[in-house]
A and B are shown apart, each in its own frame.
Chain A
Amino acid sequence: MSVVANIGRAAAEFPGIFRGWTEYVGETAAVALSVAFRPWRFRFRDAALAFQRAACEGLAIASGIGFLLGVILAFQCAAALQMFGVEVYVSDMLVIALFRELGPVVTAIVLAGRSGSAFAAEIGTMKVNEELDALRTMGLNPIRFLVLPRVAAVTAAMPVLTIFSELAGLLGGQIVLQAMNVPSAIFWQHAVSSGTVFMIVFGLVKSAFFGMLVGLIGCGAGLRTRSTADGVGRSATSAVVGGMVAIALADGIAAAICHVWGV
């Protein structure tokens, strides 16, 4: 019974929630446009701080996970390719898997867990403490003040994190193959020949877009925080869950576009 009631309530609330998020994204776009024409209104200092937290402090974890991903992938594939004596092709496979899909997606998931939840908690705490109200009555728009610098920071941080994670993944794979007596020169030769500029750039553009999604959803969840005891915690959770769902959806759409274009 309560399951049915919950589904019913969720369905009833959906249009309102959808409208709220649409308005939020629209307002953010409008504010971003107005700031683009008056760049001195952009909060560079806040953006720099958010960039430092997301990119500099997240570099180790993103690279570490990329490295492990490379090691695991290399082991799995090498086992199969070894039967045909062509384990050198692990290198080609790694480049395609990491640069096209896994690099951007896995890094974005790390970002959702680190920065998306942090944004939701920071802004949510401000909401509970009436700091957002204080901004509004000072005539300062919380979107320009809080959302824009954070979203810009993670959008810029994602390609950086992704590149490091991808290179660490290749390094992990190379170490595995080295242990299987594939000379490193041959590994890198294969890697370079199977990567294309388009593939790398497309992956980075995708990753910047994922970063923007994670930032928007994290800040949006923070702005929607309710003033209850568990309000901030719930916002942080929904920032991470919402971020991951959005990444999966966006990646699916990107894959479909690639398929249609035949690239």
Chain B
Amino acid sequence: MEKDAVVELERVDAGYPGSLVLSDISFSVAGGEIFVLLGTSGCGKSTVMKHMIGLNPVLRGTLRVAGLEWSAATRAELCRKIGVMYQSGALFGSMTCLENILLPLEEFSPLKKKERTERAMELLRDVELAEAADRMPGEISGGMRKRVAIARAMALDPEVVFLDEPSAGLDPITSSALDDLILSLRESKRMTFVVVTHELASIFKIADRCAMFDKARRTMIAIGEPERLRDGSNDDFVRKFFNRG
């Protein structure tokens, strides 16, 4: 195991029972790193993320989070270390935005009731949505739902945060504020981030390293700093991606 690796994939085949999506993926994400997953739509980014957050078992190879593989025995411990924002937001539709963020706090945090509410409101303010606290997820916009979902993912100060397309559907100003939030959380709490995004501006602003998947070749085709991939790659696909076709 690499020193200080928070997420580690070794020769992983990603996919669903009976359908292989990506094969032979290896990389590791260091503590405090912001790691971005790239690739065209449908290439398997969300699939790889679902393996990393322990929803689906990998088809082959080893995947470790905080040094542990996902299993029934490690599940409870690992769930406490990760925060997840799903591509669709996945807020609980029957609870208000505030209750959505309170839920993990109620279940797992030792805080008192009043402190929990304060903490949840603070998280909402971080994503600039304090005014939406008492509204239902069905009554706010898609971009707002994503930001509430990010606040919920941060609720228990996880070690690693997984964000599936956090900035899709956000305006440039909100999206840039979100990037700032991610950077400041990394600074203040040394959180590790694994982010799926297509926004080139955001990639260059936040990513320490990125990994790129290709649908046609069904594997990881490049890994490294975004600037190095843009300027130094001799792969057509990678150049095309960074230079918009």
- Measured CB to CB, the residues of A under 8 A from B are 122, 125-126, 129-131, 133-134, 136-140
The answer to whether A129 and B90 have CB atoms under 8 Å apart is yes
The 9 A-B pairs with the shortest beta carbon distances in the complex, nearest first, are A139-B79, A130-B90, A134-B90, A137-B84, A130-B86, A137-B53, A131-B90, A138-B104, A130-B88
* Main secondary structure on B side of the interface with A: mixed
The answer to whether B76 and A134 have CB atoms under 8 Å apart is no
The answer to whether B86 and A139 have CB atoms under 8 Å apart is no
Which of chain A's residues have a CB closer than 8 A to the CB of B55?
Answer: 133, 136-137
The answer to whether A137 and B82 have CB atoms under 8 Å apart is yes
The answer to whether B80 and A139 have CB atoms under 8 Å apart is yes
B147 to chain A, nearest CB (A): 15
- Give the CA-CA distance A138 to B152 in the complex, in Å: 10
Q: Using CB atoms, name the residue of chain A closest to B162.
A: A137
The answer to whether A137 and B54 have CB atoms under 8 Å apart is yes
B11 within 8 A of A: no
- Give the CA-CA distance A125 to B88 in the complex, in Å: 13
* Main secondary structure on A side of the interface with B: helix
| Interface residues as binary, B83-109 with A (CB distance below 8 Å gives 1, 0 otherwise) | 010111011111000000001100110
B83 to chain A, nearest CB (A): 9
The answer to whether B107 and A134 have CB atoms under 8 Å apart is no
The answer to whether A139 and B108 have CB atoms under 8 Å apart is yes
The answer to whether A138 and B107 have CB atoms under 8 Å apart is yes
Q: Using CB atoms, name the residue of chain A closest to B56.
A: A133
A122 to chain B, nearest CB (A): 8
Question: B93 contacts which of A131, A137, A139, A140 (Cβ < 8 Å)?
Answer: A131
B189 within 8 A of A: no
The answer to whether A139 and B76 have CB atoms under 8 Å apart is yes
Known A134-B90, A138-B79; further 8 A-B contacts with Cβ < 8 A: A125-B93, A130-B87, A133-B86, A137-B54, A138-B103, A139-B75, A139-B76, A140-B103
Given A134-B86, A140-B107, A129 contacting B79 (CB threshold 8 A)? no
Q: Using CB atoms, name the residue of chain B closest to A138.
A: B104
The answer to whether A126 and B104 have CB atoms under 8 Å apart is no
Given A137-B55, A137-B79, A139-B80, A129 contacting B88 (CB threshold 8 A)? yes
- Give the CA-CA distance A256 to B19 in the complex, in Å: 48
- Give the CA-CA distance A126 to B79 in the complex, in Å: 20
Which of chain A's residues have a CB closer than 8 A to the CB of B92?
Answer: 126, 131, 134
Which of chain A's residues have a CB closer than 8 A to the CB of B79?
Answer: 136-139
Q: Which of B101-144 contact A (CB under 8 A)?
A: 103-104, 107-108
- Give the CA-CA distance A137 to B55 in the complex, in Å: 7
Mind listing 6 A-B residue pairs with CB under 8 Å? A130-B88, A134-B90, A137-B82, A138-B103, A139-B75, A139-B108
